[in-house]
Amino acid sequence: MAEILNIEDHDQAYYAWKQRGLKGRTLVHIDAHMDFGRIPDMDLEEIAKVEGRQEMEHLLSRQPAWNPYSKKKEKMVHIGNYIYPAMRDGIVDKFYWVVPDPSWRTRRGRNRIKRNINWNKDTIVSSLESLKTIEEPVLLDIDVDFMLTPFIWKDQGQDRTPWIFPQELVKQLNDKKIVFDIATISYSVNGGYTPLRFKYLGDELKSLLEGRQDYRQSEASVCFNSCLTYLNSRPPDLSKAQELYQKAVMADKTYGCAYNNYGIIFQEFGKLNEAKREYSRFLQLDQANIYALTGLGFISLWQKKYPDAQAFFQRALKVKPDHEAAIFGEGILKFKAGEFREAEERFLKVYVEIPQALWWLACIAQREGRLGEVINYYKKAALAGEDGPLLHGRLALFYLKKRNFLRFAEEMHRLADFLLPNFLKR
């Protein structure tokens, strides 16, 4: 009997395949995203064990064969790249990326898909309607956001509704005689790719793939969607909305996640007024919502309403004293008030989880003339993935101030590696 797993973050599929010892399989990946970003093949300590000059030169000449970062390659797997290590490890031999039909039907969509493809000789790109019969059992891997994203360049819009429903998706797979022995279904609510009100589509999909027609929406899903109805009514019925929201979260705590509203998406796109309205609406449902509180804190900070920002961060910390985002926000406020010791204490608490804190630590060290620490913090930022031309430009400047001309030249070379490709594209 086929095994069907519902997961939240899509990279959990890789670990499920690995745990089961799968090898040489054909993967049918039905998703609005390719999830094939490359990661290094070897860590530095693994390269150090390589014997023979010729093999070493071959490894060092390849990218992304070797990993220059302190973070182990296993910890670099995430929702956007997990298929690459699955192929590298021999779990997946042939890879079908099934894209939303509306994107495939238009020239703009096909061009966009081509720009998103990291080509591999064993990769086949197809729409659902053009997918051919595969003469073997496959690894079936479905992202719920596939059903909500007709156009892959609009993958986080708050007004999206399903262009295809689970019944039709499963019917098409059955018509094409796609047989699987293990299926993974990713909700992808985290990141805003699947609006929480449509999370239930993943549960319905599992029911249909199991051959059951008796699916019923969960209590949490029904309550949450009813809550939205009362919240969005004119005028809103806040009392009823609050009651239903609490029932939803009590039935399933994932319905209290950061992405149960669009505040965080608006914030990421710089739409601060929309984000503020959205956070404020959901704060009426749950006064202890730390995500809404910290979101409003950062919006107030960016708008230079520092007392308001401090109040929001303090409210969040009363709910959760170790909440990293609120501690980081307080650190910025302390820095802007000239309280550098207090700011440094907060940034040191959170820089592992929030690498942007390393930039602020570098700024504090620079103000106090600790050039060695400035360099160390920027190097840590690079190792944490906060890489870019600004970082290498600053490192070059501080190496020059320390009269370390060799390191200065190295950083200028890295800076050129970032800038020249962009200049040549003009």
- pLDDT number for residue 111: 85
Q: Give the DSSP per-residue string, 141-184.
A: EEEGGGGG-SSTT-SS-TT---SS-HHHHHHHHHHTT--EEEEE
Is 93 domain-assigned?
yes
Q: How confident is the model at residue 22 (pLDDT cuts 50, 70, 90)?
A: very high
Looking at residues 59-69, what average pLDDT do you find? Answer: 46
What token pair was written down for 60? Answer: 């060092």
CATH number, domain of 140, equals 3.40.800.10
Q: Which helix (H) or strand (E) holds 398?
A: helix 389-401
Backbone phi, psi, residue 19, to 5°? -60, -35
What token pair was written down for 350? Answer: 């959170």
Greatest extent of the chain over all pairs of C-alpha atoms, in Å? 74
- CA neighbours closer than 13 Å in the CB half-sphere of residue 298: 21
**Location of structure tokens 């047989």:** 179
267-305 pLDDT, tens digit per residue, is 988 999 999 999 999 999 999 999 999 999 999 999 999
Q: How confident is the model at residue 75 (pLDDT cuts 50, 70, 90)?
A: low
DSSP class of 214: -
35-39, 189-193, 305-309: which range is least confident on average? Answer: 35-39
- Classified as helix, coil or strand, 417 is helix
What token pair was written down for 266? Answer: 């608006």
- pLDDT number for residue 50: 47
Is 366 domain-assigned?
yes
Q: Determine what percent of the chain falls in helix, strand and coil, rounding each to the nearest 5.
A: 55, 10, 35
Q: How confident is the model at residue 107 (pLDDT cuts 50, 70, 90)?
A: confident
Looking at residues 35-49, what average pLDDT do you find? Answer: 54
299-308, 343-352, 387-396: which range is least confident on average? Answer: 387-396
Q: Would you say residue 417 has pLDDT above 50?
A: yes
Is 210 domain-assigned?
yes
Final residue belonging to a domain, choices 165, 193, 216: 216
346, 351, 355, 357: CA torsion to nearest 10: 20
What token pair was written down for 146? Answer: 């596939």
Find the domain containing 10 and state its range: 3-39+77-216
Question: Residues of 67-92 as b/e, b for ≥16 C-beta within 10 angstroms?
Answer: bebeeebeebbebbbbbbbbbeeebb
Is 151 domain-assigned?
yes
| Distance of alpha carbon 146 from the chain centroid | 16
- pLDDT number for residue 188: 95
Pairing of strands 92-99, 25-30: parallel
- pLDDT number for residue 388: 84
**Location of structure tokens 């809103």:** 236
Q: Which helix (H) or strand (E) holds 126?
A: strand 123-127
Looking at mean pLDDT, say which of 82-86, 113-117, 148-152, 201-205 comes out highest.
Answer: 201-205
25-29, 113-117, 155-159: which range is least confident on average? Answer: 113-117
Q: Which of 149, 161, 156 is nearest to 109 (CA)?
A: 149
- pLDDT number for residue 284: 93
pTM over 0.95: no
Q: Would you say residue 51 has pLDDT above 90?
A: no
Q: How confident is the model at residue 121 (pLDDT cuts 50, 70, 90)?
A: low
Check: CB of residue 182 under 8 Å from CB of residue 5: yes
Q: Would you say residue 157 has pLDDT above 90?
A: no
Final residue belonging to a domain, choices 216, 251, 283: 216
170-223 pLDDT, tens digit per residue, is 999 999 999 999 999 999 999 999 999 999 999 999 999 999 988 999 999 999
Q: Would you say residue 56 has pLDDT above 90?
A: no
Is 68 domain-assigned?
no
Q: How many helices (H) and strands (E) does the chain have?
A: 20, 8
Count CB atoms within 10 A of the CB of residue 326. Answer: 26
Looking at residues 68-79, what average pLDDT do you find? Answer: 57
Q: Which of 281, 279, 285 is nearest to 297 (CA)?
A: 279
Check: CB of residue 295 under 8 Å from CB of residue 264: yes
Check: CB of residue 242 under 8 Å from CB of residue 285: yes
Check: CB of residue 144 under 8 Å from CB of residue 209: no
| Distance of alpha carbon 267 from the chain centroid | 15
Q: How confident is the model at residue 73 (pLDDT cuts 50, 70, 90)?
A: very low
- pLDDT number for residue 38: 62
Q: List own/partner pairs for 286-290 with CB under 8 A and 24 or more apart.
A: 286/242, 286/245, 286/246, 286/249, 286/256, 288/319, 289/256, 290/316, 290/319, 290/320, 290/323, 290/326
Q: Give the DSSP per-residue string, 178-206.
A: --EEEEEEE--TTTTSS-GGGTHHHHHHH
Q: Select the more confidently predicted residue: 211 or 77.
A: 211
Is 100 domain-assigned?
yes
Is 297 domain-assigned?
no
- pLDDT number for residue 58: 53
Q: How confident is the model at residue 426 (pLDDT cuts 50, 70, 90)?
A: very low
Q: How confident is the model at residue 122 (pLDDT cuts 50, 70, 90)?
A: low
Final residue belonging to a domain, choices 216, 231, 246: 216
Count the domains in the chain.
2
Q: Which residues contact residue 392 at a Cβ distance below 8 angstroms, ignoring those fewer than 6 apart? A: 382, 411, 412, 414, 415, 418
Is 262 domain-assigned?
no
What percentage of the chain exceeds 90 in pLDDT?
Answer: 70
Query: What distance in Å separates the CA atoms of residue 8 and residue 188, rounded to the nearest whole number?
Result: 5
CATH number, domain of 384, equals 1.25.40
Q: What is the mean pLDDT of the chain?
A: 88
DSSP class of 105: H
Q: Would you say residue 316 has pLDDT above 50?
A: yes
